[in-house]
Amino acid sequence: AKITKIDNKTLAIREIPYGKTTTTLIDSILKAIEKGKIKVRKVEDNTAAEVEILVHLTPGVSSDKALDALYAFTDCEVSISPNCCVIDDKKPCFLTVSEVLKRSVDNTLGLLRKELLIRKGELQESLHFASLEKIFIEERIYKDRNFEQAKDMDAACAHIDERLTPFYPQMIREVTQDDILKLMDIKMARILKFNKDKANDAIARMKDEIARIDRDLDNMVEVTCNWFRMLKAKYGDEHPRHTELRNFDTIVATKVVEANEKLYINREEGFIGTSLKKDEFIANCSDLDDAIIFYRDGTYKVIRISDKTFVGETERSKAEKKKAEIIHAAVFKRNDKRTIYNVAYRDGKDGFYYIKRFNVTSITRDREYDLTQGKPFSRVVYFTANPNGEAEVIKITLKPALKLKKIFVEKDFSTVTIKGRQSMGNILSKNEIQRIGLKSHGGSTLGGRKVWFDHDVNRLNYDERGEYLGEFHSEDLILVILKSGEFYTTNFDVNNHYEPGILRIEKFSPDKIWCAVLYDADQQGYPYVKRFAFEPSTKPQSFMGENKDSRFVLLTDEAYPRLQITFGGHDSFRDPQEIDAESFIGVKSFKAKGKRLTTFDTETITELEPIRRPEPETEKAVAEETEEKDTEKENLDPDAGKSQSDIMDELTGQMKLFEDE
């Protein structure tokens, strides 16, 4: 179906799929609404001569997501499987569209080859006789005494054959009796009008055409392509295409289904579900989602989200006769390679401590898995879930013991390789660990997500199609500037829809300074210039002001823009004026009016090549930024600023308290 967005709350369906009616299509939408797949307030059928089904969305629902959901959960998208049966070699067979096209093109190539061969044969016959005729006339064979005094036709033909014998090696083919008889049929008027130069030109043209045909026969694929191009150029305008060629992204139902439920968990009693509204909230979800749960004993599993499910017991907790402690629960994203789990665990009751990083992309639902080595009484001592592969630095405090000189150890998760979920991990410590605390947050070790924008379909993708926008981290945004003078920012989710009329789309930088020139309708239409920085805004805002009659001239992100004003009308006698925008006006809000460029009549305002460019970032600035980040990390350290004796006293007190309990 062809679905267009009228506004943020209304979608219009103006073409329906083959084999569907407006009634069946609306019924499928109503069923999806009843199941909670889509949040729609009303479906209105305005179909008359043309199809028009209006889908009014519930307030607060994303029109982009609803549009994809219509394709995913209703009959707005159907699959058609053509059953193409043809007769091939006197037998019926089923072919795909590609096979039908291939055989049709091969057949066309064969027909064109036959046509060329036929034409070549005709030319060769004409060339053969033209050569014979030229020799016959130029050598005056028809005036030989033996020819004129021949007693019969056979004698005359024998004489001509004898005279032509020296010329046979240059003939295209063997000279036959019919060729000689044809020479004898030449009328005297033709002989008298014979022109040697014209005959040579005709023979040369025939030889050239035969040579072109030989070249075409050696390049039949290109000849066939040109034939189809000729057909398209000749008949294409009379027979326009009624279907639309377009690339469609595969829509994953779990990504576009309306999150019409909320997931809760009761850790104490061991229940998880959508009906536990008085318990701990986890996330918004849908009835198609799964939940992943990690336990303190090192096991984890994925379950289907329902109203209420008991998850407070594992096979290991049964064997150990202990209650299963849930340490993490979230909505599970299948095939998600960027969510990395950072874990430290104890192997068995008194074993070594290990550290590992892994992801969970696809596992069997309701089956228990183990992130440890499977020994009884293994325990997870540190756990974080990182949606973009972040790697933090942890501070490990070892339990004081004899001959143990160093009780504090730091470990950076970025030094740990991400491996499979079944990997054992690296040894973190062979001594008993008292506690593990976060020293500093880390960045993504996976790097940013590289994003491209495909202008053909106005969609983002990670598949290197279209314009490269850059590498994005979780907090980064995309800036969209429209030709209408509006702008807005979005995240880099591939499910986003972008309307036509995009002037610029790029990675948002809050520090970038832009320069715009416009004719302000509120100020008698005089040209104004303004310099500003865009601000994050999910709602479209205009940098041209509220008056819709204002006219946009140009927008540039050059650091030192230069403008040239060419005057017109009554002021056309004036020389063009050059303006350095950076010194002409300071940086203000995008809502500011700007500064008037001139009161004279203008014909054009164009951007000139800048004379200077921004200087590269200095080493001093980089050093200051690094020092500032190191200070932030130190502030997160719980033991920062404490002496060794103070920390030892604190640990001794904690151990005493633990023994008393």
What is the model's pLDDT at position 638? 53
Interval 23-43: pLDDT, tens: 999 999 999 999 888 889 999
What is the model's pLDDT at position 67? 87
CATH of 255-440, one of 1.20.950.20, 2.120.10.90, 3.90.550.10, 3.60.10.10: 2.120.10.90
244 vs 301, residue with greater confidence = 301
Under the banding of pLDDT at 50, 70 and 90, the label for residue 661 is: very low
- Asked if 265 contacts 279 with a C-beta cutoff of 8 angstroms, the reply is yes
Instruction: Specify which residues 556 forms β-bridges with.
Output: 515
pLDDT at 131 over 70: yes
pLDDT at 489 over 90: yes
Percent with pLDDT over 90 in the chain: 51
Under the banding of pLDDT at 50, 70 and 90, the label for residue 10 is: very high
Of 134-138, 257-261, 435-439, which gets the smallest average pLDDT?
Answer: 257-261
What is the model's pLDDT at position 354? 96
Mean pLDDT of 158-166: 85
Domain limits, the chain: 1-80+230-254, 97-218, 255-440, 509-608, 619-660
pLDDT at 589 over 50: yes
Mean pLDDT of 336-363: 93
Do 1-80+230-254 and 255-440 share a fold? no
Under the banding of pLDDT at 50, 70 and 90, the label for residue 640 is: low
Instruction: Specify which residues 514 forms β-bridges with.
Output: 532
Under the banding of pLDDT at 50, 70 and 90, the label for residue 191 is: confident
Q: What gap in Å lies between CA 229 and CA 159, rounded to an integer?
A: 54
Domain 97-218 top-level CATH class:
mainly alpha
pLDDT at 621 over 60: no
What is the model's pLDDT at position 521? 84
What is the model's pLDDT at position 382? 96
Mean pLDDT of 588-611: 90
Query: Can you state the angle between helices 177-184 and 153-164, rounded to 10 degrees?
Result: 110
What is the model's pLDDT at position 634? 47
Interval 514-571: pLDDT, tens: 999 998 888 777 899 999 999 999 899 999 888 888 888 899 999 999 999 999 988 8
Q: What gap in Å lies between CA 650 and CA 320, rounded to an integer?
A: 33
Mean pLDDT of 339-362: 94
Q: Which of 314, 335, 333, 315 is nearest to 325 (CA)?
A: 314
Of 63-67, 129-133, 269-273, 367-371, which gets the smallest average pLDDT?
Answer: 63-67
Mean of the per-residue pLDDT values for the chain?
A: 87
Look at the domain 1-80+230-254 and name its fold.
Gyrase A; domain 2 (3.30.1360)
Mean pLDDT of 379-394: 92
* Helices of type H across 185-304: 188-192, 196-218, 220-235, 253-256
What is the model's pLDDT at position 92? 92
What is the model's pLDDT at position 619? 47
Instruction: Specify which residues 460 forms β-bridges with.
Output: 453
- The contacts of residue 184 (CB under 8 Å, 6+ apart) are 153, 156, 157, 160
- Give the end-to-end CA distance of the chain in Å, rounded to a whole number: 68
Mean pLDDT of 190-195: 84
Under the banding of pLDDT at 50, 70 and 90, the label for residue 658 is: very low
Q: Which of 141-150, 294-303, 452-461 has the highest mean pLDDT?
A: 294-303
Under the banding of pLDDT at 50, 70 and 90, the label for residue 479 is: very high
Q: What gap in Å lies between CA 555 and CA 531, rounded to an integer?
A: 10
Residue 529 neighbours by CB distance under 10 Å: 21
What is the model's pLDDT at position 340? 93
Mean pLDDT of 470-491: 90
Statement: the pTM of the whole predicted model exceeds 0.95 = no
- Asked if 323 contacts 314 with a C-beta cutoff of 8 angstroms, the reply is no
User: What tokens appear for 187 in the block?
Assistant: 């009328």
pLDDT at 248 over 80: no
Interval 45-59: pLDDT, tens: 999 999 999 999 988
